[in-house]
């Protein structure tokens, strides 16, 4: 009987909502905006999480990097790290000789330089000097040709492996292998081309070249004192990441002569650390944006309450009639409550659709990715109906409390 009454009330409510379509639409604007923001924000944050996770996978399992700066959390942190001593060949040699957990220890340095081939050029490309085992700490593979060898690195060969952007820009219809390019005034022979890595948040990951580290130190040495080395470590057992980092930590502290009461003056970057950082960052973005959308949900709820109060007043006579023929307080309460829940439910659905379109538009027109998860649809609808339920209580209670005699004699 209760379900049956519920069905009846739903039926009555839908009829009354559709008889006032324009007003219902305007009433729902707040809810629609609120819900669509929630959906869009969640989708974009989700999309970025997926995206970062996917990009981090490129780092490969069981690899971590030692850097001076690492993940900088704000200005204070940056100023502190500025004063740290640069990482240099000393740290690299200590780690590659002493670290038991390491399978390979690679070092790299980088600078931006202009690259020229005949009359074509790229004004700024990342030039990386790397050890010959570079590929063991990077997931990117050489698609064409080959990487350089230990022997070539030792004899400071003028050879280069180029990223796919360089191939695209300078060698459109030509095979780049064995061609000579100019990197910041020095000539190199191309021996390989990397596969395409894609882009992260709109920044291409393929605009780089790799040359032997020793060659790099010769030609860009005026600057190397001021730049800190990045050391990539591939560990033997990916499950022993913690132990490996602890081992590296103690080697580095010894080399850098850090007293036991001082904290580390270097950083580790691992896929986990990047992911943690990103999740922390997106968590904050999430909270801020959810805060903003809650405001529009509350405003939307108040508008619904207002319109329901108007509706109760307009339908005072109807309420009187219903009470005279036997509607109980609960029947009237239920009717108006269902009406406001239904009203906001429609708003919620419209908001879900708008939010979906919004996140798709953002994904299309900006580098931000987006992933609409099915559960966010339920979330949007649930949030909207809760708002309707909560803000519908007072008007419905007011309607149910009307004195039938006064309500019956009400004229508007």
Does 326 engage in binding with another protein (CB under 8 A)? Answer: yes
Output the smallest distance, CB 31 to another protein, in A.
Answer: 25
DSSP 8-state assignment for residue 409: T
Does 311 engage in binding with another protein (CB under 8 A)? Answer: no
Comparing CB distances to another protein, the nearer of 265 and 318 is 318
Q: Give the residue, chosen from 288, 328, 361, 366, that forms a contact with another protein under the rule CB under 8 A.
A: 328
Does 291 engage in binding with another protein (CB under 8 A)? Answer: no
Output the smallest distance, CB 346 to another protein, in A.
Answer: 19
Q: How far apart are CA 13 and CA 6, in angstroms?
A: 10
In the three-class reduction of DSSP (H, G, I as helix; E, B as strand; rest coil), residue 106 is classed as strand
Place of tokens 């600078």: 111
x/- site string to another protein, residues 250 to 289, per CB under 8 A? ----------------------------------------
Output the smallest distance, CB 23 to another protein, in A.
Answer: 15
302: closest CA among 27, 22, 91?
A: 27
Place of tokens 């999430």: 286
393: closest CA among 346, 336, 344, 311?
A: 336
Total number of residues binding another protein (CB under 8 A)? Answer: 24
Q: Give the residue, chosen from 62, 163, 232, 320, that forms a contact with another protein under the rule CB under 8 A.
A: 320
Comparing CB distances to another protein, the nearer of 309 and 408 is 408
Does 19 engage in binding with another protein (CB under 8 A)? Answer: yes
Does 323 engage in binding with another protein (CB under 8 A)? Answer: yes
HSE-up of 29 (CA within 13 Å, CB side)? 6
HSE-up of 204 (CA within 13 Å, CB side)? 14
CA distance from start to end of the chain: 34
Does 405 engage in binding with another protein (CB under 8 A)? Answer: yes
Output the smallest distance, CB 26 to another protein, in A.
Answer: 21
207: closest CA among 130, 110, 118, 67?
A: 110
Does 14 engage in binding with another protein (CB under 8 A)? Answer: no
């Amino acid at each position: 009987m209760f379900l049956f009454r519920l069905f009846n009330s739903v039926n009555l409510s839908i009829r009354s909502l559709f008889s006032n379509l324009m007003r219902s639409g305007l009433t729902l604007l707040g809810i629609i905006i609120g819900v669509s923001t929630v959906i869009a924000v969640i989708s974009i944050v989700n999309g970025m999480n997926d995206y970062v996770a996917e990009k981090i996978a490129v780092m490969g399992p069981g690899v971590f990097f030692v850097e001076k700066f690492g993940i900088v959390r704000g200005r204070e942190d940056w100023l502190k790290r500025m004063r740290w001593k640069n990482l240099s060949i000393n740290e690299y040699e200590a780690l590659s000789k002493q670290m038991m957990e390491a399978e390979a220890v690679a070092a790299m340095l980088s600078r931006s330089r202009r690259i020229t081939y005949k009359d074509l050029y790229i004004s700024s490309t990342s030039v990386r000097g790397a050890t010959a085992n570079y590929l063991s700490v990077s997931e990117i593979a050489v698609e064409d040709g080959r990487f350089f060898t230990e022997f070539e690195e030792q004899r400071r060969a003028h050879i280069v492996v180029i990223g796919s952007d360089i191939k695209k820009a300078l060698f459109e219809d030509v095979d780049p292998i064995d061609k000579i390019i100019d990197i910041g005034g020095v000539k190199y022979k191309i021996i390989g081309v990397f596969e395409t890595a894609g882009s992260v948040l709109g920044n291409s990951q393929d605009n780089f070249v790799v040359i032997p580290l020793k060659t790099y130190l010769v030609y860009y040495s005026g600057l190397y004192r001021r730049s800190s080395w990045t050391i990539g470590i591939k560990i033997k057992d990916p499950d022993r990441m913690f132990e490996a980092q602890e081992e590296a930590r103690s080697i580095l502290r010894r080399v850098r002569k850090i007293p036991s009461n001082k904290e580390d003056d270097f950083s580790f970057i691992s896929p986990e650390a990047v992911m943690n950082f990103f999740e922390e960052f997106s968590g904050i973005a999430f909270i801020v944006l959810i805060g903003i959308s809650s405001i529009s949900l509350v405003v939307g709820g108040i508008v619904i309450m207002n319109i329901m109060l108007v509706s109760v007043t307009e339908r005072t006579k109807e309420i009187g009639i219903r009470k005279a023929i036997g509607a109980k307080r609960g029947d009237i309460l239920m009717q108006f409550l269902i009406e406001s829940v239904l009203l906001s439910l429609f708003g919620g659905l419209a908001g879900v659709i708008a939010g979906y379109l919004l996140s798709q538009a953002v994904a299309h027109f900006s580098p931000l990715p987006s992933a609409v998860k099915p559960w966010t649809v339920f979330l949007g609808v649930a949030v909207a109906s809760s708002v309707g339920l909560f803000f519908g209580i007072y008007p419905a209670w007011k309607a149910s409390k009307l004195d039938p005699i006064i309500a019956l004699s009400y004229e508007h």
